[in-house]
Amino acid sequence: MSDIAAMENAKQACPELQSLPQGWSFNLDNANRVYFIKAQETTYNHPALGGLPKPWILMLIYGEEFRSFRYYNRETKEQTSRDPRYMDQTLQYQSKAAPRELWIAASSQRNNNIDLATMQRSPIENHDIRDKYERIHTIDPGDGTVGGMNGGVYVVRIKNIPNKLYIEKRFKSEGVSFGKKEIKMLRQVKHSALTSYSAAFLIETSTLKDASVYIEFCDRGSLKDLIGDYFKRGNINPKPRPPEPFVWHVFGGLLDALAYLQTGSSLLHRRNVLMDKSWTPIIHRDFKPDNVLLRSRATVGSTKYFYCVLSDFGLACEDRPYWHPDADHHQKTGGILGTYIYFAPELCYESYPRTSLEKTTFPNGYRHSGKSDIWALGVCIYNLCACRDEAGTDHLDGASRPPLVSWNEWGGGQICRRNRYPLPVPPVYSPELREAILRATEWYPDRRPDAATLLRRFEELQEASGCTYQGGAHALPDWATRKHEYFSKAEQLSKGRGR
């Protein structure tokens, strides 16, 4: 085998080198240590995965008949293919290196095979902890472009912990009361398909109201991004579509997340689960592709599909009767909130909302419910299959919209939904998947199953479809998801500060 072929084989066998963001390459220094290159920038720290914990490096190892890239411990001389970032001793070191308030956050690792129900959560601090973090990137500067109550949304990392990223969501002073509810709910829920709480602080005094919550960073973009990337390639023949096993994977994880929110228990492929009778059901009220995020597996190069995570609990609330004293304000009044185009039919007016009352109040005494969350999930999965609209709105008929009616108003009516009902799931997908989508998007809420009921039928349908496996020949194409380079940005920021 030639040197070039041997090097290429070694590269293909190294997941770390296969996960570089676009525009990045690698080279070897005089000691055969790997470093990364983009234009004039060079670094030993992987731009998407972050640096390796000391004293580990990635280097090319020569054998008599082979070459391979291995993680190498410069102190013990140990060689391994296992990523040192997730070794127990690394997590223990991170806990010790973190500020006291963040010991639990720094050492937690969601991808480990642990019982999430018993996973420790950092307490909600009563003092500002922002100085314990370093800001890497601004997603929302807090000027109202993303969320009215947001005081800013940032990618951050704990100081002295260089290879773990988080999202910080700040709340404006007038939004702290809403933030308090969201923070407590995020800390309460524990499910692999729900965004994971890391830390938070909440200050409510007569002179100061301030709050931030820190949640897991999902590194592969959103379901909306993925739908848009497939849509952009719609002119290719044959048209690329998300592989059916991936669609089942997304559907099952998110359906189980909704079942958990309703029952307090994960039910997918589990029988005889003892329900938590003390659990108060939760409704999300803003289920849409933008709020479904994709997160890598801990094992770099894993052929399993990314985790799909339902995020943004800013509108979520406990599912109580409108007359209950602890019911959410909008559940009491029937006031409209959420994203019009993902409203279930019962939340929409016959044609479209015309009067000021119709634009602010749901019709016929309806409110958001667990079943309206199910409908929103169903249309998200349908749009994942169709990939005919970059914004994920192919479940609506936009062609018949009157010229003077805004898209937002039109999306709040039943006509645009009725004209697409039942949803035309592309025939390349199995009849079983079509049935699962149509059950979730049943027009009438009294006929639409709740999450737990749908989950049992979902399991039967998935088994019958034969799509119970992941990856392999049905892997997602590399272009379908995002690859960030925030660790490179962090390194440049550190250099700019003279570190």
Each domain of the chain, given as residue ranges in start order, spans: 3-82, 88-219+484-496, 223-480
CB 225 within 8 A of CB 290: no
Q: Strands 133-140, 124-125: parallel, antiparallel or unpaired by DSSP?
A: unpaired
Q: Please, which pLDDT band fits residue 289 given cuts at 50, 70 and 90?
A: very high
Q: Phi first, then psi: give them for residue 474, nearest 5 degrees.
A: -110, 30
Range in 105-109, 247-251, 263-267, 370-374 the model is least confident about: 105-109
b (16+ CB within 10 A) / e for 131-154: ebbbebbeebebeeeebebbbbbb
Q: How far is CA 489 from CA 15, 125, 193, 215, 279, in A?
A: 22, 29, 28, 20, 42
Say yes or no to pLDDT of 119 above 80.
no
Question: What per-residue confidence (pLDDT) applies to 114?
Answer: 60
Question: What per-residue confidence (pLDDT) applies to 113?
Answer: 56
Q: What is the pLDDT of residues 74-89, one digit of tens each?
A: 999 999 988 888 888 8
Q: What is the pLDDT of residues 238-282, one digit of tens each?
A: 999 999 999 999 999 999 999 999 999 999 988 778 778 899 999
Q: Report, at the CATH architecture level, how domain 223-480 is classified.
A: Orthogonal Bundle (1.10)
Q: Please, which pLDDT band fits residue 201 given cuts at 50, 70 and 90?
A: very high
CATH 3.10.270.10 fits 88-219+484-496, yes or no: no
Question: What per-residue confidence (pLDDT) applies to 297?
Answer: 84
Q: How far is CA 202 from CA 89, 124, 179, 272, in A?
A: 32, 7, 8, 39
Question: What per-residue confidence (pLDDT) applies to 382?
Answer: 98
Three-state DSSP state, 262 = helix
**How far is Cα 355 from Cα 396, in angstroms, rounded to an integer?**
22
